[in-house]
């Protein structure tokens, strides 16, 4: 990360060459271009980031005040009162919102917001105990801590207390705030806490596998800012603690009893599949990628590689959602991807973005960015309504009026008591600029197609890259490359898997038919020959000021077919155009969608609708639908126009049916004989 050295200077922490070396030695093979270096001007994303800044973040701070989350810190400072909220990890909503607000400040400078954050940071600092311990649920009244906290520090960390979870979010927040503002007030609170954690946990000291991972990622971030080896070694220590606890019953099928819920069922070196609570899991896997990259631990690398392969080939919904099982918000078995009860927690999509970004920085392969893009354009942004203040905690794959057993949330809600998802979105959205570009010496990677400019330093030469496109609706991408003066370097443009007839980089989903269209690339209007490397088109030339690169991606509507082991999707197709996965919603389809058939021959028309759902490309076709006349016990099939909208945009117009996977042919029907029951929401 380019900021490391100045940061270390500012932080005044880079004391010995050995530490400096350790930092140098142990950075990622590829460097992400920091969010502070990228200015967005994008029609698709900027309005969302603006809504996040104007609505979500203020509403989140307001809620932290109204629900006494802030008061908890004030009471901890005063060492008096009674913990005023429900969960000990409620502290993290403040950290996560500060993190989001910090990223947001570099998009939209806001003096008032910045000083409000400083006030909050002061309150956080006052709640910190002299030795660095920071956990209001205990500090308020150590003699009578929250039930989950146990009687002494760390006592219940494995299963309940979330003390290290709070620390992890504190670190994430502190680094974002420091990088966005250069201020050290929150960073110093975090470092003081991290020094306590490192002094408390480690070989010959206290040991635990943190019940809810994230402290590992957080410690790595502190390490990358400060270069202090203890932070990295303690992160690795926590990761290696998994599978050490002997109190589980390996024979039990219960995820809590066998430890897999916490990814604590075996050593991470023996873990080869994505299991347990998806958010915890993907935070762990992110940290494993961090530690594998920064320590060169090949065994840990092998584990996280096979876990990723397991996830992407057997446990990923077509929308990029992960964590199929509501009970435990966790990964199911291989190919266990039911539509009716899909959980797909929004937080898991946030975690999946973190994880895949790290996998890319490790390996430099576009397949990780392909998965990240699938998550970003589908299963992640579905988590928040167009209003910016209603949220999905679980992201459904199907809503049916006739559902009589549990199904996922049919409409977005406000903040739950456990408001993990809103504040996770609040911190992810404004960090998006940090995911667009990456660099490795003379290789400049373009990962996401988001309008705006970035100023890079290639071979000590300033280079500005400007993107202009109408992605994801249009596949014509334009990049203007402007080195201060002519410069030799490679521009690596990601050619998305879907543009190369891969629905995802696995056999989990495939396109029903290969695209006849090919990707075309021109520079300054002339066809540009290029080689492919790990999914990137490598454009190698002496770049001159304002060279224009034009990339055309095939954008026809494609039918997606699932691996036949996914029971629920057998005989069905999903619709995808560019990176966007579509769904049919009741509102556009005469009130129903579970009655729609999409025969193999169906052809779709795509048309952009500026006034629909803040501007979307809509798909339409004429298809058979089944009509039931209950009064007369009669059923018939009629032709009707199917209108499909981007999956992310559903549930902004009231509650009703939604379908992602459509039957190609009806082989039979099950008669439904009861009146529609009140839907049972999975969460």
Contact between residue 626 and residue 666 where contact means Cβ atoms under 8 Å apart: yes
DSSP 628-663: EEGGGTEEEEEEEEEEEEEGGGTTSS-S--EESSEE
Question: Which of 508, 495, 586, 70 lies closest to 314, judged by CA?
Answer: 508
Contact between residue 81 and residue 127 where contact means Cβ atoms under 8 Å apart: no
Least distance (Å) between residue 346 CB and a second copy: 28
Judged by CB, which is closer to a second copy: 485, or 673? Answer: 673
Judged by CB, which is closer to a second copy: 548, or 626? Answer: 626
Least distance (Å) between residue 188 CB and a second copy: 46
DSSP 485-538: S-EEEEEEEE--GGGGT-SSSSSSEEESS--S---EEEETTEE---EEETTEEE
Judged by CB, which is closer to a second copy: 47, or 624? Answer: 624
Q: Residue 216 and residue 239: Cα distance in Å, rounded?
A: 7
Q: Residue 554 and residue 206: Cα distance in Å, rounded?
A: 56
Least distance (Å) between residue 566 CB and a second copy: 11
Least distance (Å) between residue 184 CB and a second copy: 49
Judged by CB, which is closer to a second copy: 606, or 626? Answer: 626
User: Which chain residues interact with a second copy by CB under 8 A?
Assistant: 400-402, 404, 567, 570-572, 594-595, 597, 599, 624, 626, 628, 630, 633-637, 663-676
Phi, psi of 232 (to 5 degrees): -70, -45
Residues in the chain: 683
Least distance (Å) between residue 240 CB and a second copy: 31
The residue written with tokens 């954050």 in the block is: 117
Alpha helices in 128-249 (DSSP H): 136-139, 163-181, 185-200, 215-226, 229-241
Least distance (Å) between residue 594 CB and a second copy: 7
Q: Provide the CA 196 distance to its chain's centre, in angstroms.
A: 30
Contacting residues for 251 by C-beta, under 8 A, at least 6 apart: 258
Q: Residue 104 and residue 112: Cα distance in Å, rounded?
A: 13
Q: Residue 152 and residue 166: Cα distance in Å, rounded?
A: 16
Contact between residue 635 and residue 370 where contact means Cβ atoms under 8 Å apart: no
CA angle (314 as vertex; 554, 656 as ends), nearest 5 = 70
Judged by CB, which is closer to a second copy: 16, or 632? Answer: 632
Contacting residues for 195 by C-beta, under 8 A, at least 6 apart: 132, 230
Start-to-end C-alpha separation, the chain:
39
Phi, psi of 366 (to 5 degrees): -70, -15
Judged by CB, which is closer to a second copy: 398, or 617? Answer: 398
Least distance (Å) between residue 297 CB and a second copy: 38
Least distance (Å) between residue 257 CB and a second copy: 8
DSSP 145-163: --GGG-SSTTTTTTTT--H
Least distance (Å) between residue 328 CB and a second copy: 14
CB neighbourhood size of 252 (10 A): 12
Active site residues: 329, 420
């Amino acid at each position: 990360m380019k900021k490391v050295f100045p940061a270390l200077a500012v932080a005044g922490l880079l004391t010995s060459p050995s530490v400096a070396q350790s930092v140098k030695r142990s950075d990622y093979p590829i460097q992400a271009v920091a969010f502070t270096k990228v200015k967005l001007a994008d029609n698709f994303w900027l309005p969302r980031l603006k809504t996040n800044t104007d609505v979500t973040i203020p509403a989140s701070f307001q809620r932290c005040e109204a629900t006494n989350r802030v008061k908890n810190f004030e009471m901890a400072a005063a060492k008096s009162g009674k913990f005023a909220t429900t969960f000990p990890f409620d502290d993290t909503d403040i950290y996560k919102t500060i993190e989001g607000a910090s990223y947001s400040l570099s998009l939209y400078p806001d003096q008032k917001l910045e000083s409000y954050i400083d006030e909050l940071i002061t309150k956080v600092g006052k709640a910190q105990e002299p030795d660095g311990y920071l956990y209001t649920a205990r500090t308020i009244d150590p003699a009578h801590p929250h039930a989950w906290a146990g009687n002494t520090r760390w006592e219940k960390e494995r299963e309940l207390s979330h003390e290290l979870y709070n620390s992890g979010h504190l670190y994430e927040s502190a680094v974002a705030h420091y990088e966005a503002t250069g201020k050290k007030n929150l960073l110093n609170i975090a470092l003081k806490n991290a020094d306590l954690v490192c002094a408390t946990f480690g070989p010959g000291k206290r040991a635990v596998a943190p019940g809810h991972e994230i402290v590992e990622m957080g410690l790595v971030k502190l390490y990358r800012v400060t270069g202090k080896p203890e932070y990295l070694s303690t992160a690795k220590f926590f990761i290696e603690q998994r599978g050490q606890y002997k109190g589980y019953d390996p024979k039990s099928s219960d995820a809590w009893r066998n430890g897999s819920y916490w990814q604590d069922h075996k050593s991470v070196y023996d873990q080869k599949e994505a299991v347990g609570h998806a958010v915890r899991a993907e935070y762990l896997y992110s940290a494993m990628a961090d530690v594998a990259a920064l320590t060169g631990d090949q065994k840990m690398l092998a584990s996280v590689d096979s876990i990723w392969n397991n996830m992407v080939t057997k446990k990923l919904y077509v929308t990029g959602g992960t964590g199929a099982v509501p009970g435990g918000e966790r990964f199911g078995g291989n190919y266990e991807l039911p539509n009716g009860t899909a959980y797909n927690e929004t937080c898991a999509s946030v975690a999946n973005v973190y994880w895949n970004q790290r996998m890319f920085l490790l390996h430099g392969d576009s397949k990780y960015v392909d998965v990240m893009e699938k998550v970003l354009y589908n299963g992640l942004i579905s988590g928040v309504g167009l209003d910016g203040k209603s949220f999905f905690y679980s992201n459904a794959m199907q809503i049916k009026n006739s559902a009589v057993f549990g199904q996922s949330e049919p409409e977005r809600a406000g903040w739950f008591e456990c408001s993990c998802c809103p504040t996770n979105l609040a911190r992810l959205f404004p960090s998006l600029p940090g995911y667009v570009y990456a660099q490795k010496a003379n290789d400049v990677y373009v990962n996401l197609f988001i309008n705006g400019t970035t100023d890079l330093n290639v071979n000590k030469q300033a280079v500005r890259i400007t993107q202009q496109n109408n992605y994801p609706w249009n596949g014509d991408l334009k990049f203007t490359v402007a080195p201060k003066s002519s410069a030799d370097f490679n521009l690596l443009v990601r050619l998305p898997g879907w543009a190369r007839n891969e629905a995802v980089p696995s056999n989990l989903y495939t396109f029903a038919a290969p695209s006849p269209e090919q990707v075309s690339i021109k520079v300054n209007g002339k066809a540009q020959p290029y080689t492919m490397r790990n999914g990137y088109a490598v454009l190698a030339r002496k770049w001159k000021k304002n060279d224009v690169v034009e990339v055309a991606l095939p954008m026809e509507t494609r039918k997606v077919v699932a691996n036949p082991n996914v029971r629920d999707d057998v005989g069905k197709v999903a619709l995808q155009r560019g990176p966007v996965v579509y769904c049919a919603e009741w509102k556009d389809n005469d009130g129903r969608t579970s009655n729609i058939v999409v025969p193999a021959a169906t052809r779709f028309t795509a048309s952009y609708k500026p006034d629909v759902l803040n501007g979307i490309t809509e798909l339409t076709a004429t298809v058979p639908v089944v009509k039931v006349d209950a009064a007369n016990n009669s059923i018939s099939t009629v032709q009707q126009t199917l209108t499909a909208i981007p999956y992310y945009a559903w549930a902004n117009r009231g509650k009703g049916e939604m379908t992602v996977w459509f039957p190609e042919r009806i082989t039979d029907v099950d008669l439904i004989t009861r009146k529609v029951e009140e839907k049972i929401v999975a969460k």
